[in-house]
Structures are given as C-alpha cells and as structure tokens.
Amino acid sequence: LLGIAPLLARRPGRLSGGERQRVALGRALLSRPRLLLMDEPLAALDAARRNEVLPFLARLRDVARIPILYVTHALDEVDALADRLVLLDAGRVLAEGTVEALTARTDLPLAARRDAGVLMACTVRSATDGLATLDFDGGVLVTIARPGPPGARLRVRLRARDVAVAIEEPRGISTQNILPVTLAAIDEGSEPGEVFLRLAAGPTTLLARVTRDSVARLALRPGLPLWALVKAVTFDHRAAGAADETPPPPAHPLPRIEETLPWPG
C-alpha cells in the first residue's frame, strides 16, 4: 500500500524524510486505528519529498477506508486530499463544507491569499501534442500539463488572478481558453483597489480578480455576458495520483489489505 518493500533492508537513519513518513504511516496502520489524525505531516519536507508522499496519502484515503482528520496550512495538500474542509481561526470554526464550495467564497480568509481561486472537478477528455482537454460541469478547459489518461478524474485549481474577462469575444490571441460566462456578482477584494468577479460558467462558479478601474472602464454589472480568458499554462492541478507522480501498485489487492487491517464493523 505504501511502497515500503524496497526500504526493508535499510537502517532507519538512511531513509529520506518522505520515506520516513511512509514508514510512520505503515506503523500507524499496524495498530488497526479507527481514525487517523495527521497534524501537518508534510510540513518538515521540501517540495520534492512532499510530492513523493502525497500520492501515498491519497491511496491510503481511497484504499484503507479509514476516516482521516488532516491538519494543514498548505492549499495544495487540501486540493489533493480533502473531501470536506473545516476552516479554523483562533480555535473558532469559520466555515465547513466541500472544498469546492469553500474555495468559491470571497468572504473567507482563503480569498485574501494571492493564490486564491476555485477548485473545479474535471475529467480528462484527451491528451495529445502536449495539450490536455478537460471537461468540467459548464465547459471545456485546455492545459499543457499531463493530468492522466482519458477518463481520469482530477481537481483543478483556477486562481482568480489568472482569469481575465472581455466584454466582446476575443479573436486572434494566444490564450487557449475563452469561456462564455455570465457576471453573477461583484464582491469586495482583499486589497483596496481590487474586486472579485463571480462568474457563472453553467453551474460552475469561477472567480476573477480585477481592479476597480477595470470594473468602471468596462461598465461591468451583474447579469452582463462576458468571456473569461485563461491561459493554458496557468492551471494548478497537482492532485495526488497525477500521471507524473503515481506510486507503484500495492503489493496485495484490497481484500488482503482489509484482512490485515481489520477494524470494528
């Protein structure tokens, strides 16, 4: 499950940080837990080691079927692993819900981050010539990354700062993604000169971070049809299990794992 077999001949002191975390997970599983609490398990690792461990955490979530309470400040870990998000501030619950719903809200501290943006559920349609086409509920996106084979499902973070809008359909530009949307609302931004545009692409909400000057210059108002522009190179979709970081298959099929790690019920 955790790819530990090649490590068995090593002394603990010769394991990398990511390998130590995988071994620690295995040790925790051997205690047959009914729930796992992970308190910032990747905080001490560099980016490469974090990317090494994330796919194994995703597999643990999907295969072991153990509830996991995961504490983190890192949005990429939330994007890759979380089903539901509880946002805390000074011990107080600010909001709770699906990750997709909370990332689309501009009234939460998440919106004050420079990497603020919505998380979108997508399915890979095709991948050819260095480009991948992703279907989402409301349209199609083109990206340069390698999210997996056709039919693979993933979540894409579309940062608000990477979305521009036009009041007329653009032509003759390099931007790959030109999406017809409707301006649903104009929300206050985290900086004095900024606002968030809440854009409806069918049932999916997008956010665009623009200046107040742009709102006035383009006479933007709720209900106005617009085009959302997103370059293919801007997407963040490092969801665990992506094509370039898939861990090796587990040594045993799921029934053996269930037999080895029983829990009540």
Q: What is the CATH number for 22? A: 3.40.50.300
Domain that holds residue 7: 1-97+245-265
Please check whether residue 150 lies inside any domain of the structure: no
**Distance between CA atoms of residues 63 and 56, nearest Å:** 10
Q: Which residue has the tokens 């997407």?
A: 235
Residues 94-117 have a mean pLDDT of: 92
Binning pLDDT at 50, 70 and 90, where does residue 237 land? low
Residues of the chain above pLDDT 70, percent: 89
Please check whether residue 80 lies inside any domain of the structure: yes
Output the pLDDT for position 236: 65
Please check whether residue 41 lies inside any domain of the structure: yes
Please check whether residue 64 lies inside any domain of the structure: yes
Please check whether residue 225 lies inside any domain of the structure: no
Residues 177-206 have a mean pLDDT of: 94
Counting the structural domains of the chain, the total is 1
Output the pLDDT for position 142: 92
Output the pLDDT for position 86: 95
Average pLDDT, the chain: 85
**Strand pairing report for 225-230 and 164-166:** antiparallel
Output the pLDDT for position 43: 87
Please check whether residue 83 lies inside any domain of the structure: yes
Please check whether residue 212 lies inside any domain of the structure: no
Residues 25-42 have a mean pLDDT of: 90
Residue 216, both tokens: 């006035």
CB-CB contact of 185 with 222 (8 Å): yes
**Distance between CA atoms of residues 261 and 5, nearest Å:** 17
**Distance between CA atoms of residues 27 and 30, nearest Å:** 5
* Residue among 199, 194, 87 at smallest CA distance from 138: 199
**Distance between CA atoms of residues 65 and 217, nearest Å:** 52
Task: Reply yes or no on whether the pLDDT at 242 is more than 50.
Answer: no
Task: Reply yes or no on whether the pLDDT at 30 is more than 50.
Answer: yes
Please check whether residue 128 lies inside any domain of the structure: no
- For the stretch 36-81, pLDDT in tens is 999 998 888 888 888 888 888 888 888 888 899 999 988 889 988 8
